[in-house]
Structure 1
């Protein structure tokens, strides 16, 4: 192993893994430090009981809420990061999301870059992650070239829902999915359209996650090194405090130091903030790059709700995540503020219900198998606004303390009511909507920390941001951050594609810097 690198990347998910992929062909010496290991390929990858009830793949971390109550965060540490278990719904933020937006609950700030700045990288990200879709079918779709792959076709019950939505004057669209599927040549397609995409790891590596798409191709280059089971504890600087000189990590329980010209942090919004706060020194007494007191602040993770609607007929769909709806994304005549996104969530199954007491109680009257046969599963998301007091701090033992108070909840209720109002026209029972808490089944909302963002936001003003527009720390010359912690706002669609596109953008910046 080399003693010194051109670039050290902490984390191998959507940001870090994609950045490594971008840098790999350059010949620059790149080191990826990943806290976890390869995710085992085993039957339990597709076992709902193992995944949702036993929490087989969830981290053993203990975090604390603002009242000091401990909880187990729903995070995963493997090569590929959070993308190993994401649903591969790869949306672009809408054009309006990059500007200042007035919401019911307050202001969503403008980004230091525009949609046009990121648009070419969105296109590259869609090509790299093999996104299927139809550009312009969604009326809020921002401008761009065609999707690189045709849309994933709807199965009969979802096609019926698609048609019914259109008949009531709405504009459903094919969800942008990152999967390795060739419906024209199924014999050569890795994806088998199973029911285990959203919330599961893909046993056959047919989901476009960062391991399969970015990390594995990157490490085929001799100049790229992946070190697994490497938990980075702190970053050390030179006496001036302007340059990171060492990355200190526990590798299989042994402390090791790594040096590189450029250090890029991509450990997830909570853990990237933790790392910077844990790296306090004489020049950075409140945490590395934290002279603005912004590190850890403005934590966001979407106002979301998953629920089941009971179809009057059986729903035998396997791959359900093919439909989206953004008619109310920016509001309507009755509610002037942005609401958010509607999409299908992965098909529910009886083992998922058994982990949820309120659904399991239905079993004597309406069996769980029958419930699953008639369920159509929806996911709605509204924007969670950046609030300085919603933040990551550390307790005396160095553990994450996640202080969070809900905000901007009214748009979620408005969105939910609009979906509910239409159900009687969509072949579903309007009075039987059941909450589905498979991803947030802990007893506090912050435990379900998918889509986490903020905490190390970028901006043009060093007094109100941590990073500049290139995602370099204002206060250091060689420190960058490329996970979703750089987001100044989160929009209302899945954040992964934006993290991927930005990593490609920052990758080009680093290649120019390195010459």
Structure 2
């Protein structure tokens, strides 16, 4: 949003609760990043059973995108309509693919997306990618050839990387997925959004500035500003338009923590849906073990498989996506499974190939964000659509065994994994069944917008990042054409 408004006739202040993430050698240290949680929050949330846990949250300029794998997918056309599963229906969106397509084009340009048009049979109609697909390394290329021989439709993942394998660009290293980039050559919201935005005189950034409460006028129909705690100093800032983009969990929590006389259940909550319908995908990490082969690959995250993304193979419902993942490290295995000896972890990853199975979870009003009596975030989340996910994992394991794997280790992060969080402030036409309108303006508050993954009414089964970026650019254009063209 700041990048889209930079250089325009608007005065923009970005409030970031964290600081700039330091560029240091520890960025690429698996033990520091995973075992010692050098960059993760030490904040503790509460799960549905009342147990506290540390979420996968990084409060820094760029947020969790500093640690993502930068797989930047468009939603498939069918994802915008209702999708029927054995456990229920994934609801339709208030917009369709054609509505968002022009901003998908802009988002891919902004985030340096590399891909191959037409390689993924489920991909909607589109322009060519801004950059050519990242080539598979030889070991992975051989595996893709074998998959093709088996009738599996492997395609190059759409990846946001800056000048990969070129002088001064991305090194295609083995510390990309879940690591910050020491070279700033990964497309994230800092590198592609905030830093370029600050080159304009009309955009300013405050770090260490946590928004504690949104303030309204007497009518309760207009936000007047934000109560901020900046490194221990509390202040009130005024603004004509407020855009909230704190992530699906924290955006909902901030609205719930801003009740007024007219909004006793939290701001913008006349529907009672603020914080409800939380989704985060059902995901299983898998490592296929090949005892007689060493995997020499450095950058492994280049393969996508959507053979099961749409109904077919005798099923009337889809299963989801399969993707190769960044290389595991022994320190990561130890962090996830502490009981595994380091020598065993090291041997396993040297002979392993890492994959991810990703299935849509369905919106359930009882999967929700709320606040405890002492003000902590409570995340009550129970997985659904598990039968479908188990079918996808079985298909993935079968594929790996056909490639010669002697064993597959599987791990599901369950509730603690908040990396694909979405859905807590769903958008729609009807104020009774949604919190935001199709331009992400709150139905109840005329000058309050939310531009993070909160707006998703369903989660689909691809990474949500590009859709968040595209919708934000769409909302920015709407703001420039409507609210921000009005005299102050």
Q: What's the TM-score, normalizing by structure 2?
A: 0.97
Given candidates 300, 312, 325, the residue that maps to 1:332 is 312
What residue in structure 1 maps to residue 351 of structure 2? 374
Q: Are 2:438 and 1:469 aligned?
A: yes
1: CA distance, partners of 2:427 / 2:214 = 20
Asked if 1:383 corresponds to 2:378, the answer is no
Q: Measure, in 1, the Cα distance between the counterparts of 2:124 and 2:282.
A: 22
SS at match of 1:309: strand
Q: 2:208 aligns to what?
A: 229
The residue that corresponds to 2:394 in the other structure is 417
Specify the alignment match of 1:396 in structure 2. Answer: 373
Which residue of the partner structure matches residue 86 of structure 1? 68
Alignment of 1:430-469 (within 5 A): 432-436=407-411, 440=413, 445-469=414-438
Residue 304 of structure 1 and its aligned partner are, at CA, apart by 0.3
CA contact (8 A) 1:91 1:176 kept: yes
Q: Deviations over 1:371-400 (max 9, x none)?
A: 121110001100010000000011111111
SS in 1 for 2:254: helix
* 2:460 counterpart (472, 488, 491): 491
Q: 2:320 and 2:185 mapped to 1: Cα distance? A: 29
Q: How many residues align?
A: 483
Pick aligned residue for 2:94 from 108, 112, 121: 112
User: Which residue of 220, 244, 253 corresponds with 2:223?
Assistant: 244
Deviation, structure 1 residue 160: 1.1
- Tell me, which stretches of 5 or more residues in structure 2 are unaligned? none
Distance 1:100 1:410, change over 3 A: same
Please state how far the C-alpha of 1:368 moved relative to its aligned partner. Answer: 2.9
Measure the CA separation in 2 of the matches of 1:251 and 1:362: 42
- Give per-residue Cα distances to partners, 1:52-82, cap 9 Å, x unaligned: 1111111111111122211111100000111
1:317-355 deviations in Å (ceiling 9; x for gaps): 111111100010013233221110100111011111222
Structure 2 counterpart of 1:257: 236
- Matched residues in 1 for 2:441 and 2:451: separation? 9
How far did residue 310 of structure 1 move? 0.9
1:53-202 alignment runs, 5 A limit:
53-183=35-165, 186-187=166-167, 189-202=168-181
Aligned-partner Cα distance in 2 for 1:359–1:115: 46
CA distance in 1, matches of 2:392, 2:263: 44
**Quick check: 1:291 aligned with 2:258?**
no
Q: Secondary structure at the match of 1:248?
A: strand
Superposed, 1:335-354 pairs within 5 Å as: 335-354=315-334
Contact 1:353–1:359 under 8 Å retained in 2? no
Secondary structure of 2:283 counterpart: strand
Q: What is the TM-score normalised by the length of structure 1?
A: 0.92
Does the 8 Å CA contact 2:440/2:449 hold for their aligned counterparts?
A: yes
**Contact 1:303–1:381 (CA under 8 A) maintained in structure 2:** yes
Could you tell me which of 245, 259, 281 is aligned with 1:302?
281
Per-residue CA deviation, residues 35-66 of structure 1 (Å, 9 max, x unaligned), is 10000111111110011111111111111112
Aligned to 2:301: 321
Return the alpha-carbon distance in structure 2 between the equivalents of residues 411 and 358 of structure 1.
29
Q: Aligned-pair distance for 1:361?
A: 4.6
* Change beyond 3 A, Cα 1:359–1:120: farther
What do residues 116-164 of structure 1 show as CA deviations (whole Å, max 9, x unaligned)? 0001100110011000000110000111100000000000111011111
Question: Helix, strand or coil: the match of 2:356?
Answer: strand
The residue number in structure 2 matching 1:266 is 245
- 1:379/1:32 Cα in 2 relative to 1: closer, same or farther (>3 Å)? same
Please tell me whether the aligned partners of residues 234 and 247 of structure 1 are also in contact (alpha carbons under 8 angstroms).
yes
The 2-side partners of 1:477 and 1:169 are apart by 52
Label 1:309 to 1:182 Cα distance change in 2 as closer, same or farther (>3 A): closer
